[in-house]
Every structure is written in C-alpha cells, then in structure tokens.
Amino acid sequence: MHMARQEPGNPHVSAIAEQLGISASTVSKVINGRPGVAAKTRRRVEKALADQGYAHPLVSTKIAQTIELVVDYIANNGTIEMIRYASKWALDAGLALTVTQTDHQRRAEECLRGIIDRNPLGVITQMSSIDQKGKNVLKARGIPLVAVDPVDLVNDEDMSITLDNWTGGYQAAKCLLDAGHRRIGVIAGPANVQSAQARLAGYRAALAAIGASLPSSMVLQGDYLPDRGYQAACDLLDRAHPPTAILACNDLTAVNIYRAARERGLEPGQDLSVVGFDNVYPSSYLMPALTTVDQPFDLMARMAVGMILDARQGKEFQRHVVMPTRLVSRHSVVNLTHASHLQSESRVQEAAQ
C-alpha cells in the first residue's frame, strides 16, 4: 500500500485536526471559509496552518470594506497624520479605516487576532511590526499588508513605503553646519527602529563631509515621545559646555527641547538652534516656528491604500517605495556666521553655569 505524499506547504487536514484535537470537518470549514466554527477555534486552526506553511489563501465568506491601520501607539509624532490621511484616501476609495493600537507591542497578538476576525480589505502598519508568523496568517487569509516606515528590514515579497531618513538626517545636520554650528547635540530615536538609526547615520555623514565628527557623548537616546526627549534636552543643556544646536529625532522631541531651553533662560532661535523631523503640528505654530524635515504623510497614505487595492485586484505594481524628504526652513536656527549672533554661544554657556 502506498501512502499519499504530503506536499510541502500543504499539510493534511487530518493531521491538523489531530494536532488540535478537533474534527477534520472543522479544519475544512476554516480553510473554505464556511460558518459554524467558533472564533477561538478558527484562530487556532489558522495559526496551525500558518505555522506549517499553508500556501493557499483561506477562503472568507465576507471581506470587510475597511482598511486596518496598525500603530504601536497614537501620539503627535506622525501617527495622527497617518490616521488623518489614510482615512481620507480610504474614504475616497469607498472604504472605512479601522485603527488598532498594539500598546507598544504588548497586545500585538491580541490585535492580530482581531484583524483576522474583522477580515479587512488590507492592513497598513506604521512604525509598528507584525512578525513572520503574523505575516503568514495574513497571507493565508489573502489580506495584503503594507509596512509604512517599517521598524525592521523587509523582504522582497513584502510591500513597504519607506522615507529616505538618511537624506533627511543629512539635510537637517547640514542646515546647522551651514549656519556655523559645530558643537551639535543629538537626541536620537529608538535604537531598535530603522528610521531612527538612518537619521542618525545621516547626521554623522553630514559632519564627516566637512571633516568633523559627532562625539558619542553628544548623542542621547530618545524614543520619539516627550518625556525622554525632555530629559535628554535637560542633560545636554546642563553641561559645562552645552551644544549651540540640537538635532531632534522628531518634532515632538523638539517641542520639549524648547521647554527645557526656556526653563534655563534660553530662547530657541536666538540662544539655541533646534531642528526637528516630521513637520507635524505644532511645528509651524511654535515661537519661533520650527525648522524641520518634512515627511509626505499624505502621499505615503495614498500610496499605501493604492497598494492594497492593486494587490486585491491582482495588478502589477512597485512593491517597495522610498519617499524623498524636504527641509522646511523656518526660524529656529541661529546663523552663527552673522556678527549679531556671535554672542549666542556664550549665553548658552552662561545658562549652564
């Protein structure tokens, strides 16, 4: 007697059923999208299929006319802009937008289960990540996934929209260097986030281009959120030889540099130069208005929605896109080459004493 050979990526229904202690008909219902299976059991079957590399999309009885936007948290650091524009472009396509927070990845698995239950038209992640098992589950359900500003490296088969963070960092640092600054502090983004490391590399490259360097003591770790940015700014400004300028990993950090400076009698744009990153509210409304690097959130959201629609329709399209950056010059950078501002450096040092 000859046993039927199991093809790679297509496990036997009976084997999955035995593994989970359920009937083969239940597994078959999940694969074919039929009703009559409890949500918890359906998720167990889908996970087992994904773990064993099930290669064919799972059939669904109904695809929700929504796009799911997954973020680790919501703050005024780009996530709000993405929500605004993704909802706009989803609505233009006749779709709704659902926003899911993973609570800094602490509830990532729970969020993924919710996405599977809702069965959206597609998923967009922003500064968040779905692990390979999660990607396999989405793939098995035929749900397209687009990573915007991905945290980790992406594979060829993934879909991604990435900002040219390195060039943005270079532009920000060059702006300060052209204004005569050499003692520059940096409040960097999270060490485990690709965008933050690319921006930091861009800062370093701009200094290297003029034969200068960025001492490690002048680079403090932030996390794109207010508290650590504020503490880092206090640390830099309280030194015996504080920086004349600070590069902020994002605009939210820059707002807290302004706060720390004013607490020490320093006026941003006069006694201390600050450059942000993102160009989100309230950067243009600060006093002085913040010089920053613009992220084209509108275009990024439009492209992400378009990728999902193209994937659903089986169209050919570019799966990986890198978006350009643009420096927006406002009034937060002091030009030290102008005689009227030569006293700026001494005032910063006086405030630190």
Q: Which two tokens stand for residue 295?
A: 């992220």
Residues 158 and 180 in one domain: no
Domain-embedded: residue 254: yes
pLDDT at position 107 over 50: yes
State the DSSP string of 265-300.
T--BTTTBEEE-SB--TTTTTSSSPPBEEEP-HHHH
Residue 317 φ/ψ, nearest 5 degrees: -160, 165
> Is residue 34 within 8 Å of 26, Cβ to Cβ?
no
User: What rounded mean pLDDT belongs to the chain?
Assistant: 89
| Greater model confidence, 42 or 287 | 287
CB atoms within 10 A of CB 3: 5
Domain-embedded: residue 5: no
pLDDT at position 29 over 60: yes
pLDDT category of residue 59 using cuts at 50, 70 and 90: low
Domain-embedded: residue 52: no
Residues 201 and 110 in one domain: no
What is the CATH classification number for the domain harbouring 152? 3.40.50.2300
Domain-embedded: residue 116: yes
| Greater model confidence, 270 or 5 | 270
pLDDT at position 7 over 70: no
Structure confidence by residue, pLDDT tens digits, 251-309: 999 999 999 999 999 999 999 999 999 999 999 999 999 999 999 999 999 999 999 99
Question: Which residue matches tokens 């990532």?
Answer: 108
Least confident of 74-78, 227-231, 336-340: 336-340
Residues 264 and 346 in one domain: yes
Residues 149 and 170 in one domain: no
pLDDT at position 53 over 90: no
pLDDT category of residue 5 using cuts at 50, 70 and 90: very low
Beta-strand runs (E) in 203-287: 219-221, 245-248, 273-275
pLDDT at position 353 over 80: no
Domain-embedded: residue 221: yes
Residues 191 and 241 in one domain: yes
pLDDT at position 161 over 80: yes
Tell me the C-alpha distance between 330 and 349, whole Å. Answer: 25
Return the pLDDT at 2. Answer: 39
Return the pLDDT at 4. Answer: 39
> Is residue 161 within 8 Å of 324, Cβ to Cβ?
no
Residues 196 and 222 in one domain: yes
Mean pLDDT of 9-17: 75
CB atoms within 10 A of CB 254: 28
Residues 149 and 188 in one domain: no
Distances in Å between the Cα of 144 and the Cα atoms of 39, 53, 80, 349 are: 21, 17, 22, 54
Burial state string for 179-211 with b = 16 or more CB within 10 A and e = fewer than 16:
bbbeebbbbbbbeebbbbbbbbebbbbbbeeee
Domain-embedded: residue 102: yes
Alpha carbon of residue 191 to chain centroid: 13
| Greater model confidence, 346 or 108 | 108
Residues 30 and 76 in one domain: no
Write out the residue range of the structural domain in which residue 82 sits.
64-164+298-324
Residues 154 and 173 in one domain: no
> Is residue 217 within 8 Å of 151, Cβ to Cβ?
no
Residues 78 and 141 in one domain: yes
Tally of domains in the chain: 3
Question: What is residue 58's three-state secondary structure?
Answer: coil
Residues 144 and 187 in one domain: no
Domain-embedded: residue 247: yes
Domain-embedded: residue 3: no
Least confident of 5-14, 27-36, 137-146, 169-178: 5-14
- 164 contact partners, CB below 8 Å, separation of at least 6: 322, 323, 324, 325
Residues 198 and 249 in one domain: yes
pLDDT at position 6 over 80: no
Least confident of 8-12, 131-135, 156-160: 8-12
Mean pLDDT of 333-349: 66
Least confident of 9-13, 32-36, 312-316: 9-13
